């Protein structure tokens, strides 16, 4: 009986040791994969992130969507992105604005909220193009290229998100530069949470790029950007 108890105890200890080793190895692989993904993604944006005053001219500003309030008004983070795009347009640094966001249902519509804000702040309707299927950064960049025919763009988002956004667009064939907003740092908790989430988002972006997945929705080629650039 004692021998059987000792054998059972030894087996349990060996199992625990193996589980601990497996846990350490798994954690190391996860950490290594995260670091490699973040490095690879951010390397793709090197030399293409600019201060607003220094960003080169591009035909289009690509404004990436984020939260819209239930009353249809943009959140402070989204408002800050739109304000940068407006200033770029007024300064002649872009000639059209492509707003790309989530329109998951009739009660939530980022692109329409972005268009309304731009109209209210002086950007002509014919210069605003809406992408209703920009469900994430990858989809927005892929659709800008494949659906709207964008070859060169200035990506506008918060600065913590910008390296990933620029890198994804560039790796999908858009000659992208970027301008990042810093004013939303005033919302310190949201900024910190969003910044931390970038590590996981970089892993997802790397998987998306390496797998070459299609956006959630493709559809037919649209001429909205071409029309906006041709308009007087």
Q: Which of 31-35, 95-99, 159-163 has the lowest mean pLDDT?
A: 31-35
Could you report the per-residue pLDDT of 59-115, keeping only the tens digit for each? 999 999 999 999 999 999 999 999 999 999 999 999 999 999 999 888 899 999 999
Residue 32's pLDDT band, with cuts at 50, 70 and 90, is low
Could you report the per-residue pLDDT of 9-28, keeping only the tens digit for each? 566 666 656 554 444 433 33
Distances (CA, A) of 8 to 3, 4, 5, 12, 173: 9, 6, 5, 6, 60
What pLDDT was estimated at residue 10?
61
The more confident residue out of 139 and 17 is: 139
- On average, the pLDDT of the chain sits at 90
Q: Which pair of tokens denotes residue 72?
A: 């249809």
Domains and CATH numbers, the chain: 44-230 (3.40.50.620)
pTM, two decimals, is 0.85
Contact 53, 177 (CB under 8 A): no
Separation of CA 31 from chain center: 22
């Amino acid at each position: 009986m004692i021998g059987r108890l000792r054998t059972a105890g030894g087996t349990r200890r060996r199992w625990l040791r193996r589980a601990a080793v497996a846990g350490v190895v798994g954690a190391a692989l996860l950490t290594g994969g995260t670091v490699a993904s973040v490095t690879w993604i951010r390397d793709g944006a090197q030399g293409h992130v600019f201060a607003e005053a220094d960003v080169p001219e591009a035909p289009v500003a690509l404004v990436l969507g984020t939260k819209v309030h239930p009353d249809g008004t943009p959140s402070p983070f989204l408002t800050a992105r739109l304000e940068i795009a407006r200033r770029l347009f007024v300064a002649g640094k872009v000639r059209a604005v492509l707003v790309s966001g989530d329109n998951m249902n009739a009660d939530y519509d980022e692109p329409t909220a972005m268009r309304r804000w731009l109209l209210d702040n002086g950007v002509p309707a014919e210069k605003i193009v809406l992408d209703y299927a920009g469900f994430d950064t990858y989809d927005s960049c892929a659709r800008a290229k494949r659906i709207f025919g964008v070859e060169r763009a200035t990506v506008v988002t918060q600065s913590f998100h910008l390296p990933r956004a620029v890198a994804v667009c560039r790796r999908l064939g858009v000659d992208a530069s970027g301008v990042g907003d810093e004013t939303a740092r005033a919302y310190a908790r949201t900024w910190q949470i969003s910044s931390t989430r970038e590590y996981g988002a970089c892993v997802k972006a790397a998987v998306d790029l390496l797998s070459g997945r299609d956006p959630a929705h493709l559809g037919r080629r649209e001429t909205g950007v071409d029309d906006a650039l041709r308009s007087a």
